[in-house]
Chains A and B, each alone.
Chain A
């Protein structure tokens, strides 16, 4: 009688800044590697992406079994665009997975994306102009959201080509992929994003009809209209009793109601987060969940399924969704997980000071979860200095990353 011990899977969590980049190395013969996301937010960029990709190449000898791009946000895929040349230099990428919403052969996805992209571009222009002479935190938070939404075209183009011509799959909730051909012993199940009309409806970006409008295929800034001829205009309202005219604060609020793009930017940011691939990997008795930036709407879709209890109940590793933000890790998820799960939090307090959220980390700690935060790692350009706790034996720090063995 002997207890069979598995060779450990190694998960390398890079510290890129505000963004995700994970390299999973499976103890097969020869070793096989899976890359989950490779991106950083421009407002929280530690400028190490080139080195990170070089490290991935060295570590994998340029051979990736699989690249999972969870969703089309800069902080998850910018590396595939900004450093596309480095990726083109890889030896082989067998498969690339993207959420179904990025499928150019799917009319529903196309319609959705077209609207989202047009709105995002217009929002970035408008909010950039606002932010230039406005130092409200709200405006700058909105600017960061708009930046995250745009300029992902090059990265997506590379991914859609399979990077090195690998097979591209567009996946959604319920898909099961036999990972045997990619990594012997690996099986994969997709839990998100959902693909049903009700979910789609929520994904639809808010109509930007205060500022922009769809004109045929493209979004146009709205041309100002003077609804009546100048003979009807009473510039200062002198023909009204003076005491009933709206006050200055009234007018200001009306102008804000007329054109406030920040709320649109936040709503759109959240809509795209919810298109995240939520990927469940099972390999020789170990179970890992990579949730991308899934927020409540994505989780809620499958948490009521009976299989959710099984999946979460047998988890060993959780990639904490959306950098540990509020609303991205439902309490039920934490409660359904067993104790001692390894929680990987790729995060940073810049550009959004609300992230990560301490209550989520506390809740995970309450389940005796082993938390590893990417921003504990020392980095020359880091916006803050955190004192990391003592690391357990299966976690080691490198120059660019933490290695976690499972």
Chain B
């Protein structure tokens, strides 16, 4: 009899905590996630992630898990345990992979990490390293220099309230929230490298806020955790102020009524964030009534980040309530719904389906938008334009009002893009080129990852050739691309975007970052004094024929931007007399490590 291979499964089930160990088994805390299957070495070490359990504080390693061991495979991974480091390794792997998967699905391409300085043949050159017990410290962060996620552990003090016992060791790598948050920093850094350069309050706010949006939406896309809460707070969902059939007086302000504090989803979002202090602060604006004036008077990056998080969640809740209107009405016909009491399990299930499906969709909208962001110096209002444009490209009409919900939510939180004529969807789309540009021909993209055609040689040769073509194109058309022809133009990145349009066609476009840089003196009148790199450039979206669709520009000659950056640096103390004693790349190190430590 001929021997036949088994079809390899597409997913690998792995047990994780839905929150963190302090909740025990409550609220679906023990759950199973399904991550894309890949063969793994001990660690686990896979295609994109290498978990290496090195502890710098104790200068030792901990034994690695073998997720391909039959005993582990049969049980769907090791069961949750605080005492077994191999479960910790499994959990960071599973949750980080799930986050990466969300990015890859939304972007329509495999994720690439920020370029590494490692040798070309180094085995981990294309991996993100994860150190689940990197050091003894109540902190966890992404470090771009190591291209690694570093998770600390620490001994809980008497001050740590709640479910944690004093003297107990707390592991940041067992917090679902923290893993997603840090993985998102790494993913975002791989797409927009200079967003890590906190050049303005908004740029610093964006990295933090975005990481938290992904962490929260990932939670909402996990059925078990949401269902439990929807069931438990079932009666609450039908409180009058949440009742979608009671329309508040002013349509434009409807978000306010729907995001009242009694909204259980807000409470849920806050609970998700309890694990660590700084993440709680990012969620501080959730559930507060939107105040368009607040952003203008808020300069601290975490506080601005909190406003971004709140705006996205206002949009999410609005969509949720709009899309569950019919279910509510059906439920009321059944008579199962009162102002209090349990929800019918079928209705709870359906509500939960909607909540998780919408969370996945909103998450996709946010991630796709990153491709449509400028290459440097992102402002919160620009993120709104990117969301609208990216979503418009996938779904030209907006049948369920998703984009509308985003626009209203952002405006009511005071996040207003600069230089748009109105806040209609049309006006918020990024500008098309003002004059027709010639197409950029002869770019070659390996659509199916399978290869070597037409004598284009290896992947790296192709890349080099594409970079050359793009560089020539940018030099020739500098002005129309918002670039300064007198300065060097760097092709920072180019990526294909693959997606299926509503009419079932495969659409391919390319997103390219062109970068320029000037050295500006900190003191405007002191050309000999210390300088800072001032960056500008354009994100250009090409269609599959090389025709320019959008040009998203940050001029390297903008005096207003330079001024804003100088002011921010002053305030943040980057220019303190003693700052020169910090390491060369302290500014980025400062950004992640220190922002995370700050209370």
Q: Which residues of A contact B (CB under 8 A)?
A: 137-138, 141-142, 145, 198, 201, 204, 206-207, 209-210, 213-216, 222-228, 232-237, 239-241, 243-246, 250-251, 253-255, 257-259, 262-263, 266-267, 269-270, 295-297, 300, 322, 325-328, 330-331, 352, 354-355, 357-359, 362-363, 366
Contacts and interface: CB of A to CB of B under 8 A. Distances in A.
B37 interface: no
Given A254-B56, A359-B528, 16 more contacts: A210-B135, A225-B153, A226-B58, A227-B136, A227-B169, A228-B83, A232-B62, A251-B56, A258-B152, A259-B135, A262-B582, A267-B573, A295-B573, A355-B577, A362-B526, A363-B523
Interface string B37-50: 00001110100001
B599 A241 contact: no
Contacts of B114: none
A376 to B, nearest CB: 21
A262 B300 contact: no
The 4 closest A-B pairs by CB, nearest first: A325-B577, A258-B135, A237-B61, A254-B56
B594 interface: yes
Interface string B560-599: 0000000000110101111111110010011001100111
Contact of B63 (A198, A232, A263): A232
Contacts of A250: 146
Interface residues of B, number: 74
Q: Which of B58, B145, B530 has the most CB of A within 10 A?
A: B58
Interface in B71-104: 83-85
Contacts of A141: 578, 581
Contact of B146 (A254, A267, A296, A330): A254
A206 B63 CA distance: 34
Interface stretch (B155-163, B212-220, B378-386, B476-484): B155-163
B577 A244 contact: no
Contact of B581 (A138, A206, A215, A246): A138
A128 to B, nearest CB: 17
B523 A359 contact: yes
Nearest to B169: A227
A308 to B, nearest CB: 16
Nearest to A300: B571
B52 A244 contact: yes
B146 A253 contact: yes
B83 to A, nearest CB: 7
Given A235-B60, A244-B45, A366-B525, A269 B146 contact: no
B404 interface: no
Given A232-B62, A241-B45, A223 B155 contact: yes
A270 B578 contact: yes
Nearest to B594: A206
A77 to B, nearest CB: 20
A343 to B, nearest CB: 16
A328 B570 CA distance: 10
A375 to B, nearest CB: 16
Contacts of B300: 198, 201
B21 interface: no
A354 B580 CA distance: 8
A246 B54 contact: yes
Contacts of B577: 322, 325-328, 352, 354-355, 357
Contacts of B158: 215-216
B54 A224 contact: no
Contacts of B169: 225, 227
A327 B573 contact: yes
Contacts of B55: 227
Contact of B529 (A137, A270, A359): A359
A268 to B, nearest CB: 11
B136 A222 contact: yes
Contacts of A226: 58
A244 B594 contact: no
Contacts of A251: 54, 56, 59
Contacts of A359: 523, 526, 528-529
Given A267-B573, A363-B523, A145 B136 contact: no
6 contacts: A198-B300, A233-B63, A240-B43, A269-B578, A297-B571, A359-B529
A296 B571 contact: yes
B575 A258 contact: no
Given A254-B146, A254-B150, A266 B64 contact: no
B318 to A, nearest CB: 31
Q: Which of B63, B134, B300 has the most CB of A within 10 A?
A: B63
Nearest to A139: B581
B131 interface: yes
A266 B570 contact: no
A358 B526 CA distance: 10
A244 B581 contact: no
A245 B146 contact: no
B326 to A, nearest CB: 46
A243 B139 contact: no
B64 A240 contact: yes
A326 to B, nearest CB: 5
Given A215-B157, A228-B85, A210 B578 contact: no
Q: Which of A233, A244, A295 has the most CB of B within 10 A?
A: A244
Nearest to B171: A227
A300 B573 CA distance: 12
B58 A257 contact: no
Contact of B136 (A225, A240, A354, A366): A225
B154 to A, nearest CB: 7
A295 B60 CA distance: 43
A198 B299 CA distance: 10
A213 B170 CA distance: 15
A145 B58 CA distance: 29
B92 to A, nearest CB: 14
Nearest to A238: B61
B192 interface: no
A240 B578 CA distance: 41
B523 A331 contact: yes
B57 interface: yes
B52 A209 contact: no
A266 B139 contact: no
Interface string B534-558: 0000000000000000000000000
Contacts of B60: 233-235
Given A207-B599, A228-B85, A243-B123, A331 B524 contact: yes
A234 B63 contact: yes
A262 B152 CA distance: 20
B540 to A, nearest CB: 35
Q: Which of A142, A225, A228 has the most CB of B within 10 A?
A: A228
A327 B597 CA distance: 24
B525 A363 contact: yes
A254 B524 contact: no
Given A214-B159, A263-B582, A354-B580, A254 B54 contact: yes
Contacts of A241: 41-42, 45, 123
B64 to A, nearest CB: 6
A332 B129 CA distance: 46
A331 B153 CA distance: 44
Contact of A209 (B83, B134, B139): B139
Given A234-B61, A241-B41, A270 B573 contact: yes
B138 interface: yes
B137 interface: yes
B242 interface: no
Nearest to B530: A326
A272 B64 CA distance: 46
A204 B281 CA distance: 16
Given A257-B143, A296-B570, A354-B580, A240 B61 contact: yes
B133 interface: yes
Contacts of A215: 157-159
A359 B62 CA distance: 52
